[in-house]
Chains A and B, each alone.
Chain A
Amino acid sequence: DIQMTQSPSSLSASVGDRVTITCRASQGISNYLAWYQQKPGKVPKLLIYTASTLQSGVPSRFSGSGSGTDFTLTISSLQPEDVATYYCQKYNSVPLTFGGGTKVEIK
């Protein structure tokens, strides 16, 4: 099975900082990569699909890139409301594995 590895597992940054989260697949998954945001106590929310397509209603400070095995989620200017845990997920085929998550906090 393909493993999904996120890094870092947590980060602390200042408001306005550029934040980058990485997701690596152990084998190529083309662009079948999604990013989700989960705020404390809330349901996960789809941010990005097909590696770089912004879900409707998601602020443009979020962006995604990558293909094959290496993917990136970028928050161009971190806002207080972005405090959350972010997960990547491969969805090319079963198993539909999630990464371990990256917890983002404000410094």
Chain B
Amino acid sequence: EVQLVESGGGLVQPGGSLRLSCAVSGFSVSTNYMSWVRQAPGKGLEWVSVIYSGGNTYDADSVKGRCTISRHNSKNTVYLQMNSLRVEDTAVYYCARGGPGSSYASWGQGTTVIVSS
């Protein structure tokens, strides 16, 4: 059974950092595109980052230079390191299996990030 379980969200002050994790079972993160998608309160879905099976990564302009997606193959886990957090980064962050050429058929339940002083 495919499962994606996010963790690491919480309350952080503006300028702070968080690392989100997405623990995967049922498939290998090393051979799949893996993405992060976020949803601000009352807003729509926003693609954040993707990591390719080959290791290339791409980020949305809104987080470029502040967020880094990575993975640990033996732990079968994907991460999103978020630095210099802003109030507007407040959102539910979802991990999803998919990327260019592959739609998001599997999603985690989400982890909530609140950036506030």
Give residues in A with beta carbon < 8 Å to B: 1, 32, 34, 36, 38, 43-46, 49-50, 55, 85, 87, 89, 91-101
Contacts and interface: CB of A to CB of B under 8 A. Distances in A.
B104 A34 contact: yes
Q: In this complex, which of B94, B100, B103, B105 has the most chain A Cβ atoms within 10 angstroms of its Cβ?
A: B103
Contacts of B103: 34, 46, 49-50, 89, 91
Main secondary structure of the interface of A (DSSP, over half): loop
Closest 6 CB pairs of A and B: A34-B103, A49-B103, A94-B58, A96-B47, A101-B44, A98-B45
Contacts of B107: 43-45
Given A91-B100, A91-B101, A43 B94 contact: yes
A86 B11 CA distance: 29
Interface residues of B, number: 23
Contacts of B105: 46, 49, 55
Q: In this complex, which of A45, A46, A87, A93 has the most chain B Cβ atoms within 10 angstroms of its Cβ?
A: A46
A94 B46 contact: no
